[in-house]
Amino acid sequence: MAYLDHAATTPMLAEALDAYVDTARKVGNPSSLHAAGRDARRLVEESRERIAAVLGARPSEVIFTSGGTESDNLAVKGIFWARERPRLIASAVEHHAVMDSVAWLAAHQRATVHWLGVDHRGRVDPDALAEIVDEHGDEIAMISVQWANNEVGTLQPVPELSALAARAGIPLHTDAVQAAGAVPVDFAASGAAALTISGHKLGGPVGVGALLLGRDVPCTPVLHGGGQERDVRSGTLDAPGMVAFAVAVEVAVKNQQESATRLAVLRDDLIARVLDAVPGAVLNGDPADRLPGNAHFSFPGCEGDALLMLLDAQDVACSTGSACSAGVAEPSHVLLAMGADDDNARSSLRFTLGHDSTDTDVEALLAALPGAVERARRAAAWKTPR
């Protein structure tokens, strides 16, 4: 299979898998006081220190969670509740873990939401954020702008946005799930108050992630129980998952520059060949300032889901840019925010490369894609009322 969906999940790195298996053979709850528990706690704390060291954070700022969705919910809801101010700002192209958290606060906590628009590349305008902050600064609880878009791969100017927010005394959270390990990410240098990362996006296990949370940033817990993780996130600590997660973060960050260079070459070849082979194909996102492994296209005249299944039948795995609800495809909210119409927003596919991607994957895609697009366009035209 040509696996071109690394943004959804990427295979575990060999080093992380070995670390997981080795740790999973040991017994001990990190909250227990006996020797086995203390040994497990030591592994957790060493993992916390290793993650902090390579991501520009202090160990005390690493809050372990079950992954990106929980970290985003904790940051958005927790900071909003703790600050007790009525307004929120989030970009219009956030991952649903942020968007739906913000929408829930609007519906159930009477939050006033400012959705920050983007340009045709999917990029936030710092001046637009400054206008909202200047007008409503004292009422804004928090701001959330992702580091890299999960669909089109566009990178946001996080340090600039964080500095703007900090001048007004407003904490900024950034979802860096797609960015960590793919581009340089430094928590302290970014100026962000909170930052989300997830294990399975960078070669670690599913079910573990972290929220990097500044020590002086108030955050009300979403989960209550044993008071683990600074009393911000209760729950039994997954020592094997955390050890493997730390190893994956270390390896991904260590290899980041070399990997990014290799993947950008492979990505650019994929983009050029798709645009040459498929008439009318449109590259979405910033053509230059984007994730090194991301290539996102609209194929006008196609239904994205149909095209995905046609490629899947030829052992090419990719993703649509849309969400499904009750079996009904919805247009990508990211592309709509970027100015695309409904048809183009429904016709998108995301091809994402990762640490085990090769030229063979691109060759397999190009062998299957032109014929699949032709069939998908014929099917869409047949379904269109005349």
Q: What is the pLDDT of residues 267-309, one digit of tens each?
A: 999 999 999 999 999 999 999 999 999 999 999 999 999 999 9
CATH 3.40.640.10 residue ranges of the chain are 14-254
- pLDDT at position 380, please? 83
Which of 133, 192, 203 is CA-nearest to residue 159? 192
Q: For 144, what's the count of Cα atoms within 13 Å in the CB-facing half-sphere?
A: 33
- Which pLDDT score is estimated for 381? 81
Assign domain 14-254 to a CATH class.
alpha beta
Q: Is 302 a catalytic residue?
A: no
Give me the pLDDT at residue 101, please. Answer: 98
Which helix (H) or strand (E) segment holds residue 128: the answer is: helix 126-136
- pLDDT for residue 385: 57
Exactly one of 219, 302, 318, 324 is catalytic; which is it? 324
Neighbours of 247 (CB within 10 A): 25
State the pLDDT at residue 322: 55
Regions of the chain short of the pLDDT cut 70: 321-329, 383-386
Cα-Cα-Cα-Cα torsion 146, 150, 152, 156, nearest 10 degrees, comes to: 20
- HSE at residue 301, side-chain half, CA atoms within 13 A, is 15
Architecture of domain 256-383: Alpha-Beta Complex (3.90)
The residues of the chain that CATH labels 3.90.1150.10 are 256-383
What is the reported pLDDT for 227? Answer: 94
Class of residue 336 by CB neighbours under 10 A (exposed 0-12, middle 13-18, buried 19+): middle
| CA-to-CA dists, residue 296 to 129, 147, 179, 320, 332, angstroms | 26, 17, 16, 9, 12
